[in-house]
Structure formats: C-alpha cells, structure tokens
Amino acid sequence: MQCPDCEKHIGWDWLEDECIEPNEKFECPNCGVMLRYTIDEGTYFGAQHKTIEVVDD
Ligand SMILES: [Zn+2]
C-alpha cells in the first residue's frame, strides 16, 4: 500500500512487525503523518480489502 500523503510504499510486513492493529493510529515511517488502516471483509476485491487513510484530528 501507499501512504496517501507522501505516496511512499508501506509494507504490510512492516505493519505486522510493528504490531499495528486495524483502526489504530500510526506514523508513516517516511513522512511522519498520522495514518490509520481499516480492513473491509468480503468486498469485490476479495476476502479482505485494506484501506489506508490520513488521520485528521
Ligand atoms: Zn507518508
């Protein structure tokens, strides 16, 4: 997936290594913006579709 802000690649392996859960805020390792990802079950994209977004507080 890509960071929506800096468009650098963030690997799911990295998220797993950092133990970042869905809906949990984390910092983009490239630009430091606050991000969050969600998992939608059962979409057209397959069993699971992951979405990443910038957290706007
Ligand atoms: Zn970024």
Does 20 fall in a domain?
yes
User: What pLDDT is attached to residue 45?
Assistant: 62
- Angle of CA points 52, 57, 37, to nearest 5°: 15
Cα gap 48→7, rounded to integer Å: 22
Could you read off the pLDDT of 5-30 as tens digits, one per residue? 999 999 989 999 999 999 999 999 99
Domain count within the chain: 1
Rounded distance from Cα 4 to ligand 1 centre (Å)? 7
Distance from residue 3's CA to the centre of ligand 1 (Å):
5
Residue 41 is which amino acid?
Answer: E
Is residue 43 assigned to a domain?
yes
Distance 43 CA to ligand 1 centre (A): 26
Entry field: residues in the chain = 57
Residue with tokens 């797993």: 16
**Whole-angstrom Cα distance, residue 34 to residue 54?**
6
The answer to whether residue 39 sits within a structural domain is yes
The pLDDT value recorded for residue 43 is 65
19 domain-assigned: yes
Range of the domain at 28: 12-54
In a domain, 24, yes or no: yes
User: What is the model's pLDDT at position 57?
Assistant: 75
**Tens-digit pLDDT profile for residues 28-51:** 999 999 999 998 887 676 677 889
